[in-house]
């Protein structure tokens, strides 16, 4: 029998609040109407504090990868050089995308589970003085590690090099100060911390990135950010038919986020991450990214001899608790618990309890309830 109730604790897609689901169930409106313009304007304004920017945040109809591609093809021309930080699947994606668009991509390889050392990026820029941009993840969801984008901006800010950041699991999870730090592009998507289904890509550019976008003469059509800026800022609509329903849902979810206050949202994510980490440690388990763990997703190494993919399958299929195994060579070694967006701290008890039960079924020996007790202790101590 499949579980009657399912908990979605994956690193995206994530749970959607009932208020948002109801908002999206309302009858469709046309997108060339004052009603839709008001929705779009409001959503774009409400996104700015999450990005830490006074710049325009553009709403695209695509998954997060579409917004990543928009950054690539609006900020670099084919044959131009760029550096990309490859510390996991999403870093690797930057590299593949740059290659697909004919750019010369120089890789800064980072061991999975680790943060990039800003010095590595500085050295890469010295080796490749023609590089015009650095591409990185603020939070590398595949390895559950965060990269120090604020320090990377110190390296790029004084040079003619753009810093382009994939913030898909950092925007709305922890503070992003795009303007203050000097990030040149910050990209996000709807289905992680923004508590929505997949389907929206988001992107903001710095002043100097907009200059670059304006001066480039390369072919772009659907993801032409200059065209999209004119539409969204000046005409209060999108260049092409938007995901109307998701934009309305976005407004509702941003209303919930600002109602809770951003500060409290960040504190809640920190609390959940710390609770899960302490729960894992209490079970004698090791974290995959102990030095720079992400606040939105926690990676726990399966104990020796136990297949992480099987543990994850049992948690999902038998217990109804959806978490995710690692990717590629980490598929049988890593268990990733997502705690992003519409997730309550109390749900970390569900996650750890299910993890304990599945591990025990797979022969791991520990004191039953030790992980759950550690989560309780951390939750009781408060944010």
Ligand X SMILES: *Cc1c(COP(=O)(O)O)cnc(C)c1O
- Residue 46 near residue 265 (C-beta atoms within 8 A): no
Question: Which residue, 166, 152, 240, is CA-closest to 204?
Answer: 166
Give whichever of 162 and 168 is closer to ligand X, judged by the CB atom. 168
What number of chain residues touch ligand X (CB under 6 A)?
A: 13
Q: SS3 for 204-248, per residue?
A: EECHHHHHHHHHCCCCCCCCCHHHHHHHHHHCCCCCCCCCHHHHH
Identify the sign of the CA torsion 16, 30, 227, 255. negative
Give whichever of 31 and 192 is closer to ligand X, judged by the CB atom. 192
Q: Does 87 bind ligand X (CB under 6 A)?
A: no
Give whichever of 118 and 189 is closer to ligand X, judged by the CB atom. 189
Residues numbered 2 to 21 that lie near ligand X (CB under 6 A) are 12
Give whichever of 202 and 283 is closer to ligand X, judged by the CB atom. 202
Give whichever of 65 and 120 is closer to ligand X, judged by the CB atom. 65
Give whichever of 189 and 322 is closer to ligand X, judged by the CB atom. 189
Give whichever of 24 and 283 is closer to ligand X, judged by the CB atom. 24
Interface residue with ligand X among 15, 55, 74, 137 (CB under 6 A) is: 137
Count CA within 13 A, CB hemisphere, residue 195.
26
Residues numbered 31 to 70 that lie near ligand X (CB under 6 A) are 63-65
Residues numbered 245 to 284 that lie near ligand X (CB under 6 A) are none
Give whichever of 94 and 364 is closer to ligand X, judged by the CB atom. 94
Q: What is d(CA 234, CA 34) in angstroms, rounded to the nearest whole number?
A: 13
The contact pattern for ligand X, residues 292-321, with x = CB under 6 A and - = no contact, is ------------------------------
Interface residue with ligand X among 169, 206, 232, 298 (CB under 6 A) is: 169
Q: Does 90 bind ligand X (CB under 6 A)?
A: yes
Interface residue with ligand X among 43, 103, 121, 168 (CB under 6 A) is: 168
Question: Which residue, 172, 139, 176, 149, is CA-closest to 53?
Answer: 176
User: Per CB under 6 A, which region of 162-170, 176-184, 245-253, 318-326 contacts ligand X?
Assistant: 162-170
| Least separation in angstroms between CB 203 and ligand X | 12
- Alpha-carbon distance values, 346 to 261, 269, 272, 317, 342 (Å): 19, 12, 8, 21, 12
User: Per CB under 6 A, which region of 34-42, 166-174, 176-184, 223-231 contacts ligand X?
Assistant: 166-174
Residues numbered 196 to 215 that lie near ligand X (CB under 6 A) are 198
Whether cis (ω within 30° of 0) applies to the bond prior to 97 is no
Tokens of 80: 């131009």
Match 């519409």 to its residue by tokens.
342
Q: What is d(CA 222, CA 242) in angstroms, rounded to the nearest whole number?
A: 12
Interface residue with ligand X among 87, 95, 118, 189 (CB under 6 A) is: 189
| Least separation in angstroms between CB 329 and ligand X | 18
| Least separation in angstroms between CB 90 and ligand X | 4
Q: What is d(CA 310, CA 331) in angstroms, rounded to the nearest whole number?
A: 10
Q: Does 166 bind ligand X (CB under 6 A)?
A: yes
Give whichever of 61 and 353 is closer to ligand X, judged by the CB atom. 61
| Least separation in angstroms between CB 349 and ligand X | 25
| Least separation in angstroms between CB 77 and ligand X | 23
- Alpha-carbon distance values, 18 to 143, 222, 320, 338 (Å): 30, 32, 19, 19
Q: What is d(CA 13, CA 11) in angstroms, rounded to the nearest whole number?
A: 6
Question: What Rg do the C-alpha atoms of the chain give, in angstroms?
Answer: 21
Give whichever of 148 and 198 is closer to ligand X, judged by the CB atom. 198
**Angle at alpha carbon of residue 274, lines to 297 and 5, rounded to 5°:** 55
- Residue 142 near residue 324 (C-beta atoms within 8 A): no
Binding site for ligand X (CB under 6 A): 12, 63-65, 90, 137, 141, 166, 168-169, 189, 192, 198
């Amino acid at each position: 029998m499949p579980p009657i109730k399912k908990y979605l604790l994956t690193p995206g897609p994530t749970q959607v609040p009932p208020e948002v689901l109801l908002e999206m169930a309302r009858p469709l409106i046309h997108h060339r109407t004052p009603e839709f313009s008001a929705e779009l304007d409001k959503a774009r304004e409400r996104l700015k504090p999450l990005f830490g920017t006074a710049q325009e945040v553009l709403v695209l109809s695509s998954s997060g990868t579409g917004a990543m591609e928009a950054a690539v093809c609006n900020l670099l021309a084919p044959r131009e050089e760029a550096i990309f930080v490859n510390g996991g699947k999403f870093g690797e994606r930057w590299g593949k995308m740059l290659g697909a668009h004919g750019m010369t991509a120089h890789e800064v390889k980072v061991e999975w589970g680790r943060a990039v050392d800003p010095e590595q990026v500085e050295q890469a820029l010295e080796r490749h003085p023609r590089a015009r941009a650095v591409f990185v993840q603020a939070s590398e969801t595949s390895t559950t590690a965060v990269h120090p984008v604020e320090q990377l901006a110190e390296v790029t800010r004084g040079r003619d090099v753009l810093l382009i950041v994939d913030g898909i699991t950092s925007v709305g999870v922890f503070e992003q100060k795009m303007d203050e730090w000097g990030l040149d592009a910050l990209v996000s998507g709807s289905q992680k911390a923004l508590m929505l289904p997949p389907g929206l890509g988001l992107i903001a550019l710095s002043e100097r990135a907009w200059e670059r976008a304006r001066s480039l003469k390369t072919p772009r059509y659907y993801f032409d950010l200059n065209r999209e800026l004119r539409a969204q800022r000046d005409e209060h609509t999108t260049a092409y038919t938007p995901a109307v329903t998701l934009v309305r849902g976005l407004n509702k979810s941003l209303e919930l986020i600002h109602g809770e206050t951003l500060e409290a949202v960040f504190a809640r994510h920190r609390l959940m991450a710390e609770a899960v980490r302490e729960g894992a440690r209490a079970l004698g388990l090791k974290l995959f990214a102990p030095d720079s763990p992400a606040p939105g997703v926690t990676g726990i190494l399966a104990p020796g001899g136990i297949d992480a993919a099987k543990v994850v399958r049992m948690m999902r299929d038998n217990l109804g608790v959806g978490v995710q195994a690692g990717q590629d060579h980490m598929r049988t070694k890593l268990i990733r618990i997502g705690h992003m967006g519409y997730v309550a701290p109390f749900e970390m008890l569900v996650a750890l309890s299910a993890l304990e039960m599945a591990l025990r079924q797979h022969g791991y020996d520990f004191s039953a309830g030790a992980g759950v007790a550690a989560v309780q202790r951390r939750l009781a101590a408060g944010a």
